[in-house]
Structure formats: structure tokens, C-alpha cells
């Protein structure tokens, strides 16, 4: 009987030690997750130029041109558009000036002086990019 009690005490102690070790490891993993979260919220600054009006906009790394437009709303910019399947969101109006199919006038954006070939929701910006919007005739 004495050996049975010793065995139960030994087994119980081992279980307690393992349980505490697992709890400590779990806390360490939680801290690691918090550190990763901080890294993911790195901010980048880009310039947004709409018909000679310049905005400096700060967004999270990995943001799209659409996210930049959304952030620029805080500086008074307004825009409207729609989503096209497979191509992303296309802007159809900025600050009250709408595209005109009849006159073939459209909002076109470029990044670092290179015209974009995808919708604003599909173009991922890089730090210090310059996004320029022009209202121009398309043939």
C-alpha cells in the first residue's frame, strides 16, 4: 500500500510539472504572436497627386492604391467607382468630376510615372510611391 501511495504522489507531481511547463510555453507563444502583430502594422508613406493637388498619405505596408484613396478621404478627397470581375476596383469619379463615355474622358492613374494596367484594388503600393491621377481623353 505504501508503494501505491508513493507511485500516486510521484505520478501526480510529474503531471503537475508537465502542466506548468505547458502553461509557460503557451504564454511564450502568445507573446510571439503579439510581436508579429506589431510588425504587420508597419506604416509607409506615399504621395497621391490628383490634378496637381498633392496629398501625403500614410497607410499600412501591403496596402493597395484603393487603400490610399480611402485614407486620403481624411484630407478631403472623394471618389466613386465599381468592381470589375478579375480586374479589381476602377475609379469613375474623383472630387465630383465623373468620367464621360460620350466624351471619352476617363480617370487614369499611374504609379511612379508608369500607367497602371489593373484596378486600384489590385495594385499594391511600395514605400515612397507617387500615385498620379489624370483626367484624360482615351481613344
- Sign of the four-CA dihedral 97, 101, 103, 108: positive
Closest CA to 65 of 134, 132, 136: 132
Task: Give Cα 28 distance to the centre of its chain.
Answer: 27
Instruction: Tell which residue, 68, 62, 69, 71, has the closest CA to residue 40.
Output: 62
Reported as a single tens digit per residue, the pLDDT across 43-57 is: 999 999 999 899 999
CA distances from 11 to 2, 3, 22, 24, 85 (A): 14, 12, 17, 20, 62
Assigned C-alpha cell, 4: 501505491
Q: Is pLDDT above 90 for 18? A: no
| pLDDT interval class at 19 (50, 70, 90) | low
For the entire predicted model, the pTM comes to 0.68
The CATH code for residues 43-137 is 2.170.130.30
Answer yes or no: is pLDDT of 66 > 90. yes
Amino acid at each position: 500500500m505504501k508503494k501505491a501511495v508513493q507511485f500516486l504522489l510521484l505520478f501526480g507531481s510529474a503531471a503537475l510539472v508537465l502542466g506548468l511547463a505547458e502553461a509557460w510555453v503557451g504564454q511564450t507563444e502568445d507573446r510571439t504572436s503579439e510581436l508579429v502583430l506589431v510588425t504587420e502594422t508597419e506604416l509607409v508613406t506615399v504621395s497621391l497627386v490628383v490634378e496637381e493637388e498633392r496629398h501625403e498619405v500614410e497607410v499600412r505596408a501591403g496596402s493597395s492604391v484603393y487603400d490610399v484613396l480611402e485614407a486620403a478621404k481624411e484630407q478631403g478627397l472623394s471618389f466613386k467607382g465599381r468592381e470589375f470581375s478579375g480586374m479589381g476596383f476602377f475609379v469613375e469619379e474623383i472630387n465630383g468630376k465623373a468620367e464621360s463615355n460620350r466624351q471619352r474622358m476617363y480617370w487614369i492613374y499611374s504609379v511612379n510615372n508608369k500607367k497602371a494596367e489593373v484596378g486600384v484594388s489590385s495594385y499594391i503600393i511600395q514605400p515612397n510611391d507617387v500615385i498620379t491621377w489624370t483626367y484624360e481623353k482615351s481613344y
